[in-house]
Structures are given as structure tokens and as C-alpha cells.
């Protein structure tokens, strides 16, 4: 309990005014779930890790503290900057204040000293003031901060205690504008110094353009964002633990509209489900007119830089290389101009040959132009020594034209993964392009094409990893020492071995989530010897 109060004080303590300070508009909120929820989630995690015996020990150690707490209420700290100086207050759900002060103040130095108006002063690592009110005890480094307190301080938490075990939220608009401007000015000055130091180094124009755009986006975020939230939680019903990063913008701002565009994202690659798939990626997006202009501008700069570098040396095929570069950048700029992104991929791993297969696909403005550029590239590259064998027009399927490349594995690692020969294939459709490597790549691409569907609503990004096929592959390729124990633990998880990173559109913003199934918790515990 002492450590918990000290933690609250460390966050809340700061140089505060000596007049009646009150929290009006919290700039920073820290939320911790109720003791009951904390113990329940800890029990789930311990059970998932196969360490149920730890639960009893933790319950025994925490019993004396739980007896003085309302275990159904959350714990929190808020920081207010509206007065120009930081004001911090913490609160604990205490239902036996006398016993609480006895626990934290068992020495003469830490014994509570009455200050009047129901406020006590205690000295732990630093002086602190406590005030019991309703179901809570408020903690502050200055006595003036404990006046006009709310009856229910959980309103400060903005619902974070219901969504997360632990969460931190920055309410950006509650940071004084002057402080936000200081941050923007500091970023700009740092960037200008960096550009000055670079001088006329190669690639400076590209770096400067990207840097200025990034600074502009950060400035837009600082000026127009509403909140930034980082939270960790447990979903026992789903059998997962997760971590979130959520960004929201002020309603009606350009930032809000730009993030809202992603709710219109669609993909044709949502059905890329394969048996033994170790990884699956899907991405989709909608670009704003501003994003299209910026991306096109950056591609123009990159193209100019690439052509400039080509012309620095005397090349026998300079004109052909220039045409190839121009073709590739035209493809990229035309695809950006469509205002949409759509793609996906799948990685297949197993402990029998072929051990690895990878396939990806993406939408483009004109697949025929990609096909022409690829043929132009092969024509130029064929003159290089040891260029792989290329089978142009190695087949066609559902209006997709295939080209295949074959070359020998040059080392033992390559042979263990791909066999003696590495095979690759590219596929060109009217508005889609594909690439595959390993096994029979043309057959893999045909399966990908079969699984492609009509565009449907989708999250902007989702990457899912399955641990079981990854560990089996690692054991087959390099006989990892802990593989058998991990696979045994994963077998008990009944397929619950997925690690997922995703983004999702929320009201006026975006949420990025890392989600871990309980089978991975068991596998990590096994690998670490728990």
C-alpha cells in the first residue's frame, strides 16, 4: 500500500500554486482498474501461463490491503495544466480510513498528523496530504489541492477503467496552447538545424520534402487532435490480452475527416485463409486529395533523384534504364491517383517440403503497364551474369498472366528452406499484380486468385501471426532446443496461438491494437522456464 501511495504521489507531485487549486480540465489521466478486476485478470493470465500457484500467493500478500479498500472501485491520477502550472491529484477507494493510515503509517515519522478540515499529513518519501471523502481517499502533495473535490472522482477517468486494466490518456486540447506551440517550434527548429547540417548531400531534397510533410502532419495532430490514449487490457471471454494506441481528432477538423475516410476502405484480399498459414496480411485505405498531392510530389522528387543518379555514370543502356524508371514511377503515381490502396499476403510454413511459401497481391491502376515494365526489366537484367532462368508467359489463369523465375539455392540455409531450387512467379491482371516464392509459386498464386473476392469493407490494416507453424518451421530448419516444449504447450491451446496487429476506425479517430491469445502466453511462459 505504501508503494501504491508513493507511486500516486510521484505522478501527482509538482510545483503547484498556494491558492485554492482545483482540477478543472485534466490534461493527463492515469486509470487503474478496481482491485477485484486486477486480481481476476491476474488470475486469468496466471492460469494461461500455467502458473496458477502464484495466484494464492498474491492474494495472501494483498489481503491486508484489500480489507481496507472498496475492491469494486478504480484507482486514478489526474494532472491539470489549465492554470499554467501542473496540478496533480490521486485517489484510492478506501472504506476503512483509520486502518488504512495504520498500515501506511506504522512509524512515528509516517504517523498521520491532523491538519483540520478532515485532512491528514503523512511523510513517506515526501510529505503528502490525505483527505477521505465518500468512497475515496484523495492524495495530493499540497493541502490546497484537497478543496472542492468531486463526490465521484471516477468521472475524471472518462470510462478508461471500464475498458482497460491500465490506461494513460492525454487530453491534448487541455494542454495550454502556448505549451503546444513550444513543442511545434522545437520540432521545426530541430529539423531546420538538421537540414543545415546536411548541406547538399545526395538525397537531401527527398529527405527535406518528407521531413517537412512529417512536421506539418505532427503540427496538425498537436493542433487538432482531441486525445491520445495508451491502454492495456484483458478480454477473458475472448481469451486474449491486448494493448491499444488510440488517437482522436476534434470533430469537424480536417484531421478528423482524413481519418474518417478510412472507414470507406475496401479490400479484395480478406479471404486469404490457408491451412498452416503462419502469417496473413491485409491492408486497405482511401487517400484524401491532400495525401494524393503530397504522395505524387514525393514520387516526382524520387524519380528526379533516381534519374539524376543514373546519369552520373556512363552507362551503355542509359536510355533504356531511363525509360524503365519513368515507367515504374508512372505506375506508382497512377495507382496513387486512384485514391485507394488494397493488398494482402500470406506466408505458409511447415516442417515438410516445401517448407516456405510466400504470396502477395496488390491493386494497381493498370496491370498491363506493370507487365510491360517487368518485361523491360527482364530484358535489361538478362545481360547480367548469373541472371536466373526466366519463363515468360509460363501460364495464365482468370485473366492473370504469369512469368516464372528459377535459380539454384546457393547455401545450406537456402536448401533447407526452399530445396535445391528456388522458384518465383509474378502474375499480372488488369488491375492487380501478384508475387509468390517457394514450392509451386504459380499454383500458389492461382489459390490466391481464387480466394480474392469482391471488394468488401475492411479495417485499414491487419497482420496475424500463428505461432505453431512458425515453431514447427524453426524446428525443421534449425532444430530449436525449446521447440518441443513450446509445441506441447501450444497443442493444449487448441489453435489459440495468434498474435494480431490491427488498425480500426473509431469515432473521430483511429485505434491500433496488439492482440495476444492465451496460447501464446503459455508458450512464452514455457520458453522462459516458468
Q: Concatenated DSSP letters for 269-318?
A: -TT---TTEEEEEEEEEE--HHHHHHHHHHHHHHHHHHHHHHTTS--TTH
- The count of other CB atoms within 10 Å of the CB of residue 448 is 24
Task: Give the C-alpha separation, 359 to 348, whole Å.
Answer: 9
pLDDT digits (tens, 9 = 90+) for 305-332: 888 888 888 777 888 999 999 999 999 9
What HEC string does 82-116 produce? CCCCCEEEEEECECCHHHHHHHHCCCHHHCCEEEE
Q: Which of 230, 229, 239 lies closest to 41, judged by CA?
A: 239
- In the DSSP assignment, the letter for residue 69 is B
Q: How many residues does the chain have?
A: 530
Task: Give the C-alpha separation, 523 to 468, whole Å.
Answer: 10
Q: What are phi and psi of 19, to 5 degrees?
A: -105, 180
- The count of other CB atoms within 10 Å of the CB of residue 350 is 17
Reply yes or no on whether the pLDDT at 16 is more than 50. Answer: no
User: What's the whole-number mean pLDDT along residues 227-240?
Assistant: 96
> Coil, strand, or helix at residue 326?
helix
**CB contact at 8 A, 16 and 145:** yes
What's the sign of the alpha-carbon dihedral 314, 320, 324, 327?
positive
* pLDDT for the residue 20: 41
* pLDDT for the residue 24: 62
Long-range contacts of 178-186 (CB under 8 A, 24+ apart): 179/81, 180/222, 180/223, 183/222, 184/218, 184/219, 184/222, 184/223
319 Cβ neighbours under 8 A, 6+ residues apart: none
Q: Which of 336, 354, 340, 328 lies closest to 436, judged by CA?
A: 354
User: What's the whole-number mean pLDDT along residues 445-454?
Assistant: 90
Task: Give the C-alpha separation, 478 to 359, whole Å.
Answer: 23
> Coil, strand, or helix at residue 158?
coil
Region of 496 (left: φ > 0; alpha: ψ -120 to 50; beta: rest) is beta
* pLDDT for the residue 8: 58
Strand partners, 79: 28, 88
Task: Give the C-alpha separation, 107 to 466, whole Å.
Answer: 54
Reply yes or no on whether the pLDDT at 351 is more than 90. Answer: no
- In the DSSP assignment, the letter for residue 474 is H
**Percentage of the chain lying above the pLDDT 70 cut:** 94
Least confident of 14-28, 236-250, 286-300, 477-491: 14-28
* pLDDT for the residue 19: 36
User: What's the whole-number mean pLDDT along residues 391-396?
Assistant: 91
- On the CB side of 107, CA atoms within 13 Å amount to 6
Task: Give the C-alpha separation, 245 to 511, whole Å.
Answer: 6
Higher pLDDT, 285 or 452: 285
Reply yes or no on whether the pLDDT at 137 is more than 80. Answer: yes
Q: Which of 87, 90, 95 lies closest to 31, judged by CA?
A: 90
pLDDT digits (tens, 9 = 90+) for 495-515: 899 999 999 999 999 999 999
CA distances from 328 to 84, 207, 387 (A): 54, 21, 21
State the maximum Cα–Cα separation within the chain, in Å, rounded to a whole number. 91
pLDDT digits (tens, 9 = 90+) for 35-61: 999 999 999 998 888 887 787 777 777
* pLDDT for the residue 189: 87
Average pLDDT across the chain, whole number: 87
**CB contact at 8 A, 25 and 80:** yes
Task: Give the C-alpha separation, 468 to 486, whole Å.
Answer: 9
Task: Give the C-alpha separation, 182 to 80, whole Å.
Answer: 18
* pLDDT for the residue 530: 57
Cα-Cα end-to-end distance for the chain:
27
Element spanning 342, H or E: strand 340-349
Least confident of 204-208, 393-397, 454-458: 204-208
User: What's the whole-number mean pLDDT along residues 455-475?
Assistant: 92
* pLDDT for the residue 22: 57
Task: Give the C-alpha separation, 490 to 467, whole Å.
Answer: 8
CA distances from 382 to 385, 388, 389, 441 (A): 8, 8, 9, 21
Least confident of 55-59, 73-77, 96-100, 119-123: 55-59
The dihedral formed by the CA atoms of 519, 521, 522 and 523, expressed in degrees to the nearest 10: 90
What HEC string does 166-200 produce? EEEEEEHHHCCHHHHHHHHHHHHHHHHHHHHHHCC
* pLDDT for the residue 44: 92
Reply yes or no on whether the pLDDT at 112 is more than 70. Answer: yes
User: What's the whole-number mean pLDDT along residues 94-99?
Assistant: 89
Amino acid at each position: 500500500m505504501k508503494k501504491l501511495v508513493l507511486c500516486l504521489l510521484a505522478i501527482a507531485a509538482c510545483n503547484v500554486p498556494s491558492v485554492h487549486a482545483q482540477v478543472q480540465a485534466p490534461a493527463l489521466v492515469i486509470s487503474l482498474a478496481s482491485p477485484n478486476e486486477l486480481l481476476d485478470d491476474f488470475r486469468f493470465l496466471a492460469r494461461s501461463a500455467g502458473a496458477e500457484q502464484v495466484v494464492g500467493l498474491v492474494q495472501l500478500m494483498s489481503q491486508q490491503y484489500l480489507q481496507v479498500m472498496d475492491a469494486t472501485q478504480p484507482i486514478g491520477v489526474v494532472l491539470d495544466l489549465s492554470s499554467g502550472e501542473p496540478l496533480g491529484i490521486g485517489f484510492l477507494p478506501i472504506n476503512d480510513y483509520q486502518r488504512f493510515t495504520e498500515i501506511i503509517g506504522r512509524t512515528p515519522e509516517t504517523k498521520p498528523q491532523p491538519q483540520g478540515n478532515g485532512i491528514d499529513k503523512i511523510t513517506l518519501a515526501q510529505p503528502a496530504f490525505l483527505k477521505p471523502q465518500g468512497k475515496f481517499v484523495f492524495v495530493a502533495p499540497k493541502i490546497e489541492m484537497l478543496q472542492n473535490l468531486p463526490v465521484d472522482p471516477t468521472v475524471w477517468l472518462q470510462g478508461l477503467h471500464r475498458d482497460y486494466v491500465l490506461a494513460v490518456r492525454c487530453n491534448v486540447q487541455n494542454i495550454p496552447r502556448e505549451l503546444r506551440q513550444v513543442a511545434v517550434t522545437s520540432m521545426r527548429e530541430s529539423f531546420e538545424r538538421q537540414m543545415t547540417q546536411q548541406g547538399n548531400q545526395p538525397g537531401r531534397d527527398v529527405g527535406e520534402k518528407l521531413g517537412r510533410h512529417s512536421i506539418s502532419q505532427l503540427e496538425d495532430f498537436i493542433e487538432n487532435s482531441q486525445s491520445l490514449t495508451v491502454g492495456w487490457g484483458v478480454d477473458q471471454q475472448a481469451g486474449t490480452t491486448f494493448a491499444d494506441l488510440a488517437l482522436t481528432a476534434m470533430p469537424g477538423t480536417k484531421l478528423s475527416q482524413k481519418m474518417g475516410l478510412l472507414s470507406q476502405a475496401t479490400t479484395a484480399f480478406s479471404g486469404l485463409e490457408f491451412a498452416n498459414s503462419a502469417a496473413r496480411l491485409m491492408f486497405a485505405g482511401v487517400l484524401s486529395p491532400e495525401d494524393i498531392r503530397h504522395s505524387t510530389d514525393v514520387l516526382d522528387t524520387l524519380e528526379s533523384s533516381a534519374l539524376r543518379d543514373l546519369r552520373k555514370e556512363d552507362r551503355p543502356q542509359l536510355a533504356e534504364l531511363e525509360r524503365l524508371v519513368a515507367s515504374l514511377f508512372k505506375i506508382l503515381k497512377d495507382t496513387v491517383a486512384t485514391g485507394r490502396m488494397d493488398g494482402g499476403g500470406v506466408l505458409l510454413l511447415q516442417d515438410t517440403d516445401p517448407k516456405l511459401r510466400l504470396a502477395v497481391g496488390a491493386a494497381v491502376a493498370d496491370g498491363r503497364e506493370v507487365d510491360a515494365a517487368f518485361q523491360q526489366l527482364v530484358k535489361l537484367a538478362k545481360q547480367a551474369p548469373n541472371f536466373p532462368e526466366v519463363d515468360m508467359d509460363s501460364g495464365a489463369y482468370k485473366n492473370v498472366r504469369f512469368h516464372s523465375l528459377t535459380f539454384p539455392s546457393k547455401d545450406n540455409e537456402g536448401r533447407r528452406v526452399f530445396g535445391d531450387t528456388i522458384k518465383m512467379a509474378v502474375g499480372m491482371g488488369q488491375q492487380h499484380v501478384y508475387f509468390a516464392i517457394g514450392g509451386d509459386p504459380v499454383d500458389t498464386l492461382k489459390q490466391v486468385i481464387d480466394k480474392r473476392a469482391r471488394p468488401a469493407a475492411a479495417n485499414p490494416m491487419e497482420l496475424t501471426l500463428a505461432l505453431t507453424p512458425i515453431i514447427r518451421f524453426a524446428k525443421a530448419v534449425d532444430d530449436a532446443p525449446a521447440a518441443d516444449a513450446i509445441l506441447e504447450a501450444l497443442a493444449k491451446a487448441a489453435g489459440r496461438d495468434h498474435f494480431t496487429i490491427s488498425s480500426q476506425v473509431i469515432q473521430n479517430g483511429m485505434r491500433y491494437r496488439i492482440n495476444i491469445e492465451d496460447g501464446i502466453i503459455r508458450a512464452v511462459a514455457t520458453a522462459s522456464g516458468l
